[in-house]
Structure 1
Amino acid sequence: MSKKVVILGGGVGGMSAAQELAERGFDVEVYERLEVLGGKARSIPVPDSASGGRKPLPGEHGFRFFPSFYKHTFDTMKRIPYGTNRRGVYDNLIETTHVMAAREGMTEISFPLYLPERLDDWEMLYRLIVKNEANIPRSEMLFFARKVLQFLTACTERRNTDYDDITWWDFVEADGKSKEYVDFLAVGLTRDLVAMQAEISSSRTVARIYVQLMLGILQPWLHVDSILNGPTSRVWIDPWEAYLTQLGVNFHTGASVDSFEFDASSGRISGVNITQGSETFKVEADYYVSALPVEVMARKVTPQMGQKDPMLATLDQLQTGWMNGILFFLNKNISLNHGHILYVDSPWALTSIFSQSFWEDIDLDEYGNGELEGILSICISDWNTPGVLYGKAARDCSAEEIKEEVWAQITRRLNDTGTIYLEPGDVITWFLSPTIDIQPGEPTKNTEPLLLNTAGSLRYRPEAASQIENLFLASDYVRTNTDLATMESANEAARRAVNGILGREGWMLGLCRLYELEEPLIFKPARAIDRLRFKMGLPQLDYL
């Protein structure tokens, strides 16, 4: 008889764990608080937006970003059947070709994400590198390159201690540097793409992601950055649910976790109390996988569970931040850039993409009122800095004020050099993620915040296999190679949790594959030398 596993949470972590377990013959039950699966990756239909028998407009929590180092996620997607796709859902990813940086009062800067083949791409690189249109002082660019080299030659042990304890801001010595250095190198990329604040984020985490993004650009055979070719649920989550159901996974939506029951005599979880609708009941299993977000799991850990596994008791030391989406549905198709646009000097750290440019097989006439021609999908990564219209942070604004502020920050950077790309008349309607809970007279809440990798936080992040024999963790706060609050880290954490279960069951073969983050081999000898120096208590060598 197969062993039963209860998975708590139906986001990417929970669904990844369900797939790995079901493919290996386990009896899997998934309990999800929402009525739909996918967690932060799900699509959210815009209420009251459909007419004439059409589908509601396709809202999202935020745009999806699939860089080349998402190897765990890609492997999972390739095993999810989708129509005639040879590689399943993975073939629904479309490579972006360019990234654009937009600044107020200055010409936009674009550069290709592949080895240039066309004359205009070489011209872009010439403008960026030779003419230095980013206006970063060359001495500061060399200084930044030196800091990246410093990280690349540091051993893992030093990264996990010294580098984790220093903020990215302090590591790159942003104080006293030019505004351009801060906008592009110290703050811009981390804040705009992964909602990490340079002033508080671990330099270990930020540097690792910087290296991965740069390696993707330098290896043109990789897809540096891809997005899905349709609404996320339609082309990924729904086919995933169908595949898992076919494998025998049972999903229970609208089911919230109330509490764990811990048997102190055996040191095991004896059950989980669930509320679904008006009914409260206890579920029991051989193993339990918690794919709950950190802010939820921290509240569920009982004192007895914390005594059994002290790492569980420190989850409340981990911090969360906000990165949520707003969409503008347009009555015209705008092809400004075939990829992401970073508004590097925008107060609210905005990043956008024109989704319809990648939805070649999606008939937009199926949605809304029949006028839909374009979708401008935007992520707001800074909810604490005052905006330009009302002088208020995003978290202090009404939904209407957020919409007006975002529109102003974007159009001031796109419409400022002679060409008007966006006008108010282009907007059919807009949609702010409902995870931003705005109630009159009350502080705004974010019901689905994002883990922040703050300086010194690694010590509070647990392994996927807890010290409670039958409890495993499959969420982005778990220690992973990916080391960032992303779909990729949730997927990797799920694989580690499943491997923990397989280990308890005595499996020697058939474990989930885990991928390392690749770094240039040329620096491997330097890291070996640094490992010896670290063990001897000596500082890192300076190679420049």
Structure 2
Amino acid sequence: MSKKVVILGGGVGGMSAAQELAERGFDVDVYERLEVLGGKARSIPVPDSATGGRKPLPGEHGFRFFPSFYRHIFHTMKRIPFGTNRRGVYDNLVETTHVMAAREGMTEISFPLYVPERLEDWEMLYRLLVKNEANIPRDEMLFFARKVLKFLTASQARRDEEYENITWWDFVEADGKSKEYVDFLAVGLTRDLVAMQAEISSSRTVARIYVQLMLGILQPWLHVDSILNRPTTEAWIDPWEAYLTQLGVTFHRGASLESFDYDPGAGRITGVQIAQGGASYRVEADYFVSALPVEAMAGKVSAEMAARDPMLATLDQLQTGWMNGILFFLRKDLDINHGHILYVDSPWALTSIFSQNFWEDVDLSEYGEGDVQGILSLCISDWNTPGVLYGKPAKECTAEEIKEEVWAQITARLNDTGTIFLDPADIITWFLSPTIEINAGEPTRNTEPLLLNTVGSLRYRPEASTQIENLFLASDYVRTTTDLATMESANEAARRAVNGILGREGWRLGLCRLYELEEPVIFKPARALDALRFKMGLPQLEYL
């Protein structure tokens, strides 16, 4: 008889765990507090936007970003059927071709994400590398390269015990450096793409992800940066739900975890209390997988559970931050850059993409009132720095003020060289993610924040398999190789949780595949040498 597994949470972590378990014959039930699946990855239809039998405008929590190191997610997507796609949902990913850095009062810098084939692409690289239009002092560029090399030649033990306790800001010695060094190297990519704050984030985590992003750019035969070819729920979440349902997974929507029933004597969860539709009921299973976000799980851990596994007691020590989306639906189909635009010096750390440029098979006339031609999707990564119009951080602004601030910050960087790319007259409507709850007289709430890998926080992060015999964790706060609050990390955590269950069941074969982050093999001897030096208490060698 198949064993029963209850999964709490229907986001990427929960659905990934459900897929791995169901494909191996387990009886799986997923309980999700919302009426929709997908968690932070889901699309969010714009309320009251559909007319004439059309679909609602496709809002998002924030745009999806699939860099080349997302190997766990890609492996999962290839197994989710989608129409006639040979590789399932994975074939719905479309590669972006260029990244643009937009700065106020300066010409934008673009560079290709593939081996240049056109003259204009070679010109872009010439402007970036030879003319140095980023204006980063040469000596500072060399200094930063030394810092990256230092990380690449550091052993894992040194990274875990030394770099984990140094902020990225201090590691790259940003104090006293030029504004360009700070905007592009110390802060830029990390703040704009993954909402990491250089001043508080662990250099172990930031450097690791920075290296992966850079390696992706330096290996243009990979899909360095991909996005989906239609709204996320249509391209991925709905087909995923259909596939899991076909495998026998049962979904319970609008069902929230109230509490765990824990038996201290047996060291097991005997059941969970679920609230749904105004009623409360108990659910029993052989195994329980919590795919809840850290802030939700921390509040469900009882004193008895924490006594059994002290790592569960440290979850409230982990910090969260905000990275949420706002969309502008436009009358024009704009193609300013065929990929992400980083507003590297914007107070609110904005990043955008024109989604419709990648939706070749999507007829936008089927959405809203049928008049949308362009979709400008942005992420706000810094909610604490004052803006340029109202002098307030995003957390203290009304929704209208947020919209005005974002528009002002992006147009100050795109319309500043004489060409008006963005005209407010082209805005049909806009949409701020409803996960930002703004009520007059009350502090603004973010109902779906992100884990922040703050300096020294690794010691508070648990393994996927807890010390409670039948409780497993499948969320991005779990210790993973990916080590960042991303869909990739949630998927990897789910695989580790499932492998824990399989281990308890005595499986030795058929475990979930786990991937390591790849780093250049040329530095492997240096890392091995540093492992010995670290063990002997010796400092790291400098190679430049």
Give the equivalent residue in structure 2 for 1:67.
67
- Distance in structure 2 (CA, Å) of the matches to 1:149 and 1:162: 16
Which amino acid letter does the alignment assign opposite residue 192 of structure 1? D
- Distance in structure 1 (CA, Å) of the matches to 2:137 and 2:441: 47
- The 5 Å alignment of 1:381-396 reads 381-396=381-396
Q: Secondary structure at the match of 1:476?
A: coil
1:173-198 residue CA offsets vs partner (Å, 9 max, x unmatched): 00000000000000111100000100
- Distance in structure 1 (CA, Å) of the matches to 2:515 and 2:498: 15
- Distance in structure 2 (CA, Å) of the matches to 1:541 and 1:309: 39
- Distance in structure 2 (CA, Å) of the matches to 1:470 and 1:100: 48
Q: Secondary structure at the match of 1:383?
A: coil
- The 5 Å alignment of 1:222-241 reads 222-241=222-241
Give the equivalent residue in structure 1 for 2:341.
341
- Distance in structure 2 (CA, Å) of the matches to 1:501 and 1:238: 27
Give the equivalent residue in structure 2 for 1:421.
421
Q: Secondary structure at the match of 2:221?
A: coil
Give the equivalent residue in structure 2 for 1:367.
367
Give the equivalent residue in structure 2 for 1:202.
202
Q: Secondary structure at the match of 1:300?
A: coil
1:256-279 residue CA offsets vs partner (Å, 9 max, x unmatched): 110111101100011110000111
Give the equivalent residue in structure 1 for 2:269.
269
- Distance in structure 1 (CA, Å) of the matches to 2:286 and 2:192: 42
1:488-539 residue CA offsets vs partner (Å, 9 max, x unmatched): 0000000000000000000000000000000000000000000001111111
Which amino acid letter does the alignment assign opposite residue 26 of structure 2? F
Q: Secondary structure at the match of 1:192?
A: helix
- The 5 Å alignment of 1:63-102 reads 63-102=63-102
Give the equivalent residue in structure 2 for 1:507.
507
Q: Secondary structure at the match of 1:288?
A: strand
Which amino acid letter does the alignment assign opposite residue 207 of structure 2? A
Give the equivalent residue in structure 1 for 2:316.
316
- Distance in structure 1 (CA, Å) of the matches to 2:29 and 2:370: 40
**1:208 CA drift (Å):** 0.5
- Distance in structure 1 (CA, Å) of the matches to 2:363 and 2:160: 48
1:517 aligned onto 2:479: no
Give the equivalent residue in structure 1 for 2:474.
474
- Distance in structure 2 (CA, Å) of the matches to 1:542 and 1:44: 49
**1:117 CA drift (Å):** 1.1
Q: Secondary structure at the match of 2:480?
A: coil
For structure 1, the 5+ residue unaligned runs are none
- The 5 Å alignment of 1:252-263 reads 252-263=252-263
Q: Secondary structure at the match of 2:165?
A: coil
**1:446 CA drift (Å):** 0.2
Which amino acid letter does the alignment assign opposite residue 151 of structure 1? F
Q: Secondary structure at the match of 1:455?
A: coil
Give the equivalent residue in structure 2 for 1:141.
141
- Distance in structure 2 (CA, Å) of the matches to 1:116 and 1:272: 56
Q: Secondary structure at the match of 1:164?
A: helix
- Distance in structure 2 (CA, Å) of the matches to 1:217 and 1:448: 30
- Distance in structure 2 (CA, Å) of the matches to 1:448 and 1:333: 31
Which amino acid letter does the alignment assign opposite residue 436 of structure 1? I
Give the equivalent residue in structure 2 for 1:5.
5
- The 5 Å alignment of 1:391-540 reads 391-540=391-540
Q: Secondary structure at the match of 1:266?
A: coil
Which amino acid letter does the alignment assign opposite residue 270 of structure 1? T
Which amino acid letter does the alignment assign opposite residue 307 of structure 2? Q
Q: Secondary structure at the match of 1:477?
A: coil
Give the equivalent residue in structure 2 for 1:189.
189
1:83-108 residue CA offsets vs partner (Å, 9 max, x unmatched): 00000000000000000000000000
- Distance in structure 2 (CA, Å) of the matches to 1:252 and 1:238: 15
Q: Secondary structure at the match of 1:37?
A: coil
Give the equivalent residue in structure 2 for 1:246.
246
- Distance in structure 1 (CA, Å) of the matches to 2:169 and 2:181: 11
Q: Secondary structure at the match of 1:526?
A: helix
Which amino acid letter does the alignment assign opposite residue 494 of structure 1? A
**1:240 CA drift (Å):** 0.1
- Distance in structure 1 (CA, Å) of the matches to 2:48 and 2:375: 17
Which amino acid letter does the alignment assign opposite residue 482 of structure 1? T
1:400-448 residue CA offsets vs partner (Å, 9 max, x unmatched): 0000000000000000001100001110000000000001100000000
- Distance in structure 1 (CA, Å) of the matches to 2:173 and 2:53: 57
Which amino acid letter does the alignment assign opposite residue 212 of structure 2? Q
- Distance in structure 1 (CA, Å) of the matches to 2:6 and 2:258: 14
**1:162 CA drift (Å):** 0.3
- Distance in structure 1 (CA, Å) of the matches to 2:220 and 2:64: 21
- The 5 Å alignment of 1:147-158 reads 147-158=147-158
Q: Secondary structure at the match of 1:20?
A: helix
Which amino acid letter does the alignment assign opposite residue 347 of structure 1? P
Give the equivalent residue in structure 1 for 2:40.
40
- Distance in structure 2 (CA, Å) of the matches to 1:128 and 1:495: 41
**1:218 CA drift (Å):** 1.2
Which amino acid letter does the alignment assign opposite residue 427 of structure 1? I
- Distance in structure 2 (CA, Å) of the matches to 1:160 and 1:274: 38
Question: What percentage of residue pairs aligned between the two structures are identical?
Answer: 84
- The 5 Å alignment of 1:148-187 reads 148-187=148-187
**1:543 CA drift (Å):** 1.1
- Distance in structure 1 (CA, Å) of the matches to 2:324 and 2:435: 8
1:316-359 residue CA offsets vs partner (Å, 9 max, x unmatched): 00000000000000011001100000000000000000000000
**1:220 CA drift (Å):** 1.6
Q: Secondary structure at the match of 2:162?
A: helix
1:35-75 residue CA offsets vs partner (Å, 9 max, x unmatched): 00000000000001111111110000000000000000000
- Distance in structure 1 (CA, Å) of the matches to 2:362 and 2:223: 22
1:460-507 residue CA offsets vs partner (Å, 9 max, x unmatched): 111000010100000000000100000000000000000000000000
- Distance in structure 1 (CA, Å) of the matches to 2:538 and 2:468: 38
Q: Secondary structure at the match of 1:143?
A: helix
Which amino acid letter does the alignment assign opposite residue 260 of structure 2? F
Q: Secondary structure at the match of 1:428?
A: strand
- Distance in structure 2 (CA, Å) of the matches to 1:285 and 1:305: 17
- Distance in structure 2 (CA, Å) of the matches to 1:363 and 1:144: 45
- Distance in structure 1 (CA, Å) of the matches to 2:531 and 2:64: 37
Q: Secondary structure at the match of 2:310?
A: coil
Q: Secondary structure at the match of 1:47?
A: coil
Which amino acid letter does the alignment assign opposite residue 127 of structure 2? R
Q: Secondary structure at the match of 1:311?
A: helix
Which amino acid letter does the alignment assign opposite residue 98 of structure 1? H
Question: Runs of 4+ in structure 1 displaced over 6 angstroms?
Answer: none
Give the equivalent residue in structure 2 for 1:302.
302
- Distance in structure 1 (CA, Å) of the matches to 2:419 and 2:471: 57
Q: Secondary structure at the match of 1:378?
A: strand
If the length of structure 1 is used for normalisation, what is the TM-score? 1.00
**1:377 CA drift (Å):** 0.1
Which amino acid letter does the alignment assign opposite residue 164 of structure 1? E
Give the equivalent residue in structure 1 for 2:217.
217
Give the equivalent residue in structure 2 for 1:53.
53
Q: Secondary structure at the match of 2:391?
A: coil
Count residues with an aligned counterpart: 544
- Distance in structure 2 (CA, Å) of the matches to 1:347 and 1:220: 31
1:112-140 residue CA offsets vs partner (Å, 9 max, x unmatched): 01111111100000000000000000000
If the length of structure 2 is used for normalisation, what is the TM-score? 1.00
Which amino acid letter does the alignment assign opposite residue 241 of structure 1? E
**1:458 CA drift (Å):** 0.6
Give the equivalent residue in structure 1 for 2:355.
355
1:110 aligned onto 2:121: no
